[in-house]
């Protein structure tokens, strides 16, 4: 089965840039989605289709995907961005199935 690997934790200072990676075999050929999960809240879709921000998501959030790594970038990080971030794809190598990465905890120092 397809595996998505994320760095468990990232720490950045407010106002700087956070880079959260998601690695998978030829992930560049897939459509990657990113979710923000704050404690006590439902997950929130922040990027879909590798680069598209849903309505209401600030432009500080951006995504990219190439080769073996997809990346979520958060510019001018704010305290309110502290959360877990998960990448997700559909694995269509057999019966289609949804795959989530293991999550990255973003800490704003």
The correct pick among 22, 88, 106, 108 for binding another protein (CB under 8 A) is 88
Which has the closest alpha carbon to 65: 99, 28, 100?
28
| 3-state SS assignment for residue 39 | coil
Q: Which residue's CB is nearer to another protein, number 88 or number 108?
A: 88
The correct pick among 14, 15, 49, 58 for binding another protein (CB under 8 A) is 49
Nearest-angstrom CA–CA distance, 89 and 74 = 20
Piece in contact with another protein (CB under 8 A), picked from 13-21, 44-52, 64-72, 73-81? 44-52
What DSSP string runs through 25-36?
TTGGGS--EEEE
Q: Examine residue 57 and tell whether it contacts another protein (CB under 8 A).
A: no
Binding residues for another protein, rule: CB under 8 A, are 1, 31, 33, 35, 37, 41-45, 48-49, 52, 54, 86, 88, 90, 94-103
């Amino acid at each position: 089965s397809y595996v998505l690997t994320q760095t468990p934790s990232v720490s950045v200072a407010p106002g700087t840039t956070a880079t959260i990676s998601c690695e998978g075999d030829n992930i560049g050929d897939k459509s990657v989605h990113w979710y923000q999960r704050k404690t006590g809240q439902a997950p929130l879709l922040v990027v879909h289709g590798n680069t598209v921000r849903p309505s209401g998501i600030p432009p500080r959030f951006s995504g990219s995907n190439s080769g073996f790594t997809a990346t979520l970038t958060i510019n001018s990080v704010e305290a309110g961005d502290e959360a877990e971030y998960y990448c997700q794809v559909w694995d269509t190598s057999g019966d289609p199935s949804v795959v989530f990465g293991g999550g990255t905890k973003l800490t704003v120092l």
